[in-house]
Amino acid sequence: MRFFISFFALFFLMIGLQATANAASKKVKRAKHGAQHVVSYAKNKDAMALADAITANENLDSAWVRAQMREAKFLPRVVQLMTPAPVGDKKNWAVYRSRFVTPAYINAGVAFWQANQDVLLRAEKEYGVPPRIVLGILGVETIYGRNTGGFRVLDSLATLSFDYPLEHPRREARVLYFRGELAQLLVLAQYMKRDPKSFKGSYAGAMGWPQFMPSSWLKYAVDFDGDGKVDLWHSQADMIGSVANYFQAYGYKPQLAGRAGLAFEQATVELENGDDVPTQYPVDDNFFVITKYNSSYYYAAAVLELGSAIEQAIEQEIKNGQAKN
């Protein structure tokens, strides 16, 4: 069963809340980044108004929703991490790539393949998404579960809903997005019969090995191991199936090669290398499907590069007779 937030029903209310939040955020002094004391959203009028909107749109218990909103805490570190880099800082593809395409990542990817080969191939057969894409995503996102995030998701999403950095160029749109995700978190908690405070994830609210946002969890996560529940923290089969399902939903085309390093006819994207010559990176339609997971071209290229490197390492091990055929 799937539950979905009525984003359009909330949209106009959120716009009104955003106008109030913009004015309030200029007057209310928040704790400095790194401050130790805690600021609760219990008395935040926008938070309570959003709680009432969620109650109405999702048919949740009003007292319960308001109680969860009162439990949410302001996290200065989240604001700091979401604040845009200074204008003029150049991106560097070579440096970015070097963070992910390393022996440690590749070896971890090969180990994950060896432990889940049958499931990865079943996901490819069912969803048309090759193992290298799933391996690339799980590697870049969390190094195969090594770093899933330690932030309380309720706090992260509340902070980004009501105290999003003022200097961000797309602040209003991002606030609306995170308020929707905060609503989805409460829906997910009800569906899973879990305390919303128990969810841990990234500073942006992403959870599990694949780092699904609450809305993605509700829309695309699947029970791929058949145990009657979806678990993206412990079930590697569910992780694999859910990532593959996500890409199929966004139009991944299995008939395209989609491997890094091949010359596609469609297009290239330019990746900066600091002060050096930019890289003209070859892309196809599937490249842009990957950007639905994360909009950064650098991210999508890193997923392809890591997945390709893992695939090559697996092929080499098979040739050496060290891997299962």
Predicted confidence (pLDDT) per residue in 69-103, tens digit:
999 999 999 999 999 877 777 899 999 999 999 99
306 pLDDT higher than 50: yes
323 pLDDT higher than 70: no
Q: What is the pTM of this model?
A: 0.86
The mean pLDDT of the chain is: 88
> By three-state DSSP, how is residue 288 classified?
helix
pLDDT, residue 27, reads 40
Q: Which residue has the higher pLDDT, 216 or 318?
A: 216
Could you write out the DSSP letters of every residue in 247-290?
A: HHHTT--TTS---TT---SSEEEEEEETTEEEEEEEE-HHHHHH
pLDDT, residue 87, reads 74
All domains of the chain, ordered by start, with CATH?
7-85+153-206 (1.10.8.350), 102-147+220-319 (1.10.530.10)
Query: CB–CB of 250/285 below 8 Å?
Result: no
Q: In this predicted model, what pLDDT tens digit does every residue of 235-288 receive, in sequence order?
A: 999 999 999 999 999 999 998 854 444 545 568 999 999 999 999 999 999 999
pLDDT grade, residue 317 (50/70/90)?
confident
Catalytic residues: 141
Could you tell me which residues come within 8 angstroms of residue 80 by beta carbon, excluding any fewer than 6 positions away? 33, 34
